[in-house]
Amino acid sequence: MDSSFHKQITQVATHLKKKGFPYTIQGFNELDSTNGKAKELALAGVHENTVVVAQIQKKGRGRFERTWESPPGGLYFSLILRPKGPADQMTMIPLIAGLAVTKAIRSLFQLPSMIKWPNDVRIHGKKVAGILLEGETKQDQVHYVIVGVGVNVNNPVEQLPIQLQATATSLIRERGTRVDYGLFFESVLSAFHEEFIRFEQGDVSSLLSSWKTYSDTLGKRVKIKTVSGDIVGEAVDIDCSGFLVVLTDDGEQKIVTSGDCLYVDEL
């Protein structure tokens, strides 16, 4: 049992409660995946806004069946939501999560974090955080959504696998000093809650405009790897569902609902 980790988590929970945020936090020294644990809890009927956080993950999961390296020092958590409303309105949630992490990094550390569609968070062109959404629907209604967030906080980039070292960064690397893990966690959850309220109130246009402020995707030449093939062109907009609008070389506007977004100038 790592008492300093649990002390920090208890402190985060106390602060959030005092400020009126709805989260209940369950902390674990080690899990295979916080998303996996959150799914188990969601299926067992745990209430929404339960947050599962682990000090390390043994089998952290990334998008597209990748693994998410999860050594000590990083922030790994999953938030269980049970949003009311049709499943097709949930496509904004990944963007909300990316925006929340970006805002927390900017407000606490004044670092120029940016969002790569749909929700990679990058600083100086290197990935600092990733988000994995998983969920289940029942008759077009959402049963649960799990928002899994991984951030390289105080874990040294040099300890990540060699193939990630050129493209990944961490907050400690960007700041040059250690980061207050608890304060950062609290700030991400607070920012998420604020953005999520905007979404629930139907204020999608102001959400999108914040997202665009911090996105480094629009205006770039992109290659999106989708299940039905690659789409290459200029990223010109985000629509009201959070989908990427790409202007292809033959002048067609394609709406990309999901895929792995690569910047052509980084290939």
Closest CA to 263 of 210, 212, 218: 218
72 to 111: interface string for ligand BTN, x by CB under 6 A: ----xxx---------------------------------
Single residue of 131, 188, 224, 244 touching ligand BTN by CB under 6 A: 131
For ligand BTN, the binding residue among 27, 83, 135, 148 (CB under 6 A) is 148
Pairing of strands 141-151, 75-81: antiparallel
Question: Of 27, 94, 98, 130, which one interacts with ligand BTN (CB under 6 A)?
Answer: 130
Q: Is 150 in the site for ligand BTN (CB under 6 A)?
A: yes
**Applying CB under 6 A, what is the total number of residues that bind ligand BTN?**
20
What single letter denotes the amino acid at residue 21?
F
Judged by beta carbon, residue 35 or residue 190, the one nearer ligand BTN is 35
Is 264 within 8 Å of 255 (Cβ atoms)?
no
Centroid of chain to Cα 228: 25
Q: Which residues pair with 230 in a beta bridge?
A: 225
Selected range binding ligand BTN among 80-88, 130-138, 192-200, 228-236, rule: CB under 6 A: 130-138
Give the length of the chain: 267
Which 49-78 positions form the footprint of ligand BTN (CB under 6 A)? 57, 60-63, 66, 68, 76-78
Closer of 88 and 260 to ligand BTN (Cβ): 260
Contact 155, 170 (CB under 8 A): yes
Collapsing DSSP to helix, strand or coil, 18 comes out as helix
3 state SS of 57: strand
Closest distance of CB 33 from ligand BTN, Å: 3
By beta-carbon proximity to ligand BTN, the closer residue of 92 and 198 is 92
Q: List C-alpha distances in Å: 261 to 55, 130, 252.
A: 29, 13, 18
CA quadruple 192, 198, 204, 206: dihedral sign? negative
Considering only 132, 133, 244, 246, the residue that binds ligand BTN (CB under 6 A) is 132
Give the nearer residue to ligand BTN in terms of CB position, either 19 or 58: 58
Among 26, 33, 50, 102, binds ligand BTN (CB under 6 A): 33
Which residue is closest to ligand BTN by CB?
130
Distance CA(221)–CA(51), nearest Å, equals 37
Tokens (6 digits) for 181: 């893990």
Cα–Cα–Cα angle for 81, 117, 187, rounded to 5 degrees: 50
Max intra-chain CA distance, the chain: 59
Contact map string, positions 108 to 127, toward ligand BTN, x by CB under 6 A = ------------x-------
Q: Tell the smallest beta-carbon distance from residue 67 to ligand BTN (Å).
A: 9
Nearer to ligand BTN, 170 or 198 (CB): 170
Contacts with ligand BTN by CB under 6 A lie at 33-35, 57, 60-63, 66, 68, 76-78, 120, 130-132, 148-150
